[in-house]
Structure 1
Amino acid sequence: MLNWPAEGDALIAPAVARNRDAILAVLRRVLPATGTVLEVASGSGEHAVHVARALPNLVWQPSDPEPSALRSVAAHARHAGLPNLRDPLQLDAAASDWPVKQADALVCINMIHIAPWAAAEGLMAGAGRLLPAGAPLVLYGPFREEGRATAPSNEAFDADLRLRDPRWGLRQLEEIARLAQAHGLVLAERVEMPANNLILVFRRAAP
């Protein structure tokens, strides 16, 4: 369950204010100019509002499996009043059937390390089903990488996550890339972000 500070139903994730502009700068470049973007694991909904406001030609579809997150997204969306921000959908990334059948892009911020591996498997399978050729799946978060030292802050974060739930933890970038490839997605770009995070941009390969 989410336990961030709240204003009514609207949860406030402290990290969003620190990373939203850096994430938005990459999304401006890699997302399509128009179409529908499905955000998987929208959390508080603050990223959804920030990006939908900045990119009005995109329809932003937030989603989350948690009822508290869905209430928070809806509360932030009501306050923002943006015509291109849809009501949130209840969506479990690990499920084999999603309530969305097509999207022009997928975005997933800070999920796969705070969820069982089945969520990463489901995310890649869903992207493989939904995305047309060339469309992006954008992942943001901390990762481990072969041949690169993991930052001490990320090591500590990983240890804390595994104490909270042994199924959680930082994922190996190379394992994520192999999982994506199994569902027709190719790692097209690796972008270094502040605070030892990465954005990984996968593209749906042509059938």
Structure 2
Amino acid sequence: MRPDRPHSPAADRNRGPILDVLRHALPERARVLEIGAGTGQHAAYFTARQPGWSWTPTTVPAELATLVAGLEGLERPGLGQAAPLDVRTETDWPEPGYDAVFAANVVHIAPEPAVRALISGAARVLVPGGRLVLYGPFMRDGRHTSESNRRFDVDLRSRGVGSALRDVNDVDRWSAESGLRRVADIAMPANNFILIYD
């Protein structure tokens, strides 16, 4: 790793378990749109190990420089160019044709309107049978799944920007409004989950 490359330790810790799930959930050859790609570490790691995936990493325009710097100098056939995408702006979304839309640690950071826009936008760009894959911590039936998640949720809500752990029931409802249904619910390390919709 270049010493000046943006880096997230959390992305290094969760990339292996996430890749294991994605390998079972997605076809060997797939077009994937990543929302909130951060430093680009997931995009780089996944495409190095799944050359059949064509991966487009995106982030909000204000964070694009970080994503570009994180991917600078990395060249492989499946790794697309970093692109700006504000999920709340319909014209930012690419044309339909994706086998998957992937978002890690976005749903609890983004305010609710942006989460709902992410889901509806994903439904628009997915091919029939395509999948929306959401990774992160979630609540269940109004309850936290761990004390650490409860503390994390309190901290998120205290920031006053609309961040909060989302309840799986709410995500299911918002997805159903866009014609998506949950087909998998997978427990992950560190009290996280992967929810898959198609």
Rounded to whole Å, the distance in 2 between the matches of 1:53 and 1:73 is: 17
Matched, 1:134 2:126: no
Q: Residue 117 of structure 2 aligns to which amino acid in structure 1?
A: G
Q: TM-score, normalised by structure 2?
A: 0.93
Matched ranges for 1:1-207 at <5 A: 7-8=3-4, 10-67=5-62, 69-102=63-96, 103-146=98-141, 149-203=144-198
- Deviations 1:83-105, CA, capped at 9 Å, x for gaps: 21111110011222234112121
RMSD, aligned α-carbons: 1.7
Displacement of 1:148: 5.6
- In structure 2, the residue matched to 1:3 is none
- Deviations 1:68-87, CA, capped at 9 Å, x for gaps: x4223323323332221111
Deviates more, 1:22-31 or 1:72-81: 72-81
| 32 and 162 in structure 1: CA distance in 2 versus 1, 3 angstrom threshold | same
Q: Residue 81 of structure 1 aligns to which amino acid in structure 2?
A: E
Structure 1 contact 93–119 (Cα < 8 Å) conserved: yes
Displacement of 1:66: 4.1
Q: Residue 70 of structure 2 aligns to which amino acid in structure 1?
A: H
What are structure 1's unaligned runs of at least 5 residues?
A: 1-5
Q: Residue 125 of structure 1 aligns to which amino acid in structure 2?
A: S
Structure 1 contact 20–47 (Cα < 8 Å) conserved: yes
Percent identity between the two aligned chains: 37
Structure 2 contact 142–167 (Cα < 8 Å) conserved: no
Displacement of 1:121: 0.9
Q: TM-score, normalised by structure 1?
A: 0.89
Displacement of 1:196: 0.3
Structure 1 SS opposite 2:181: strand
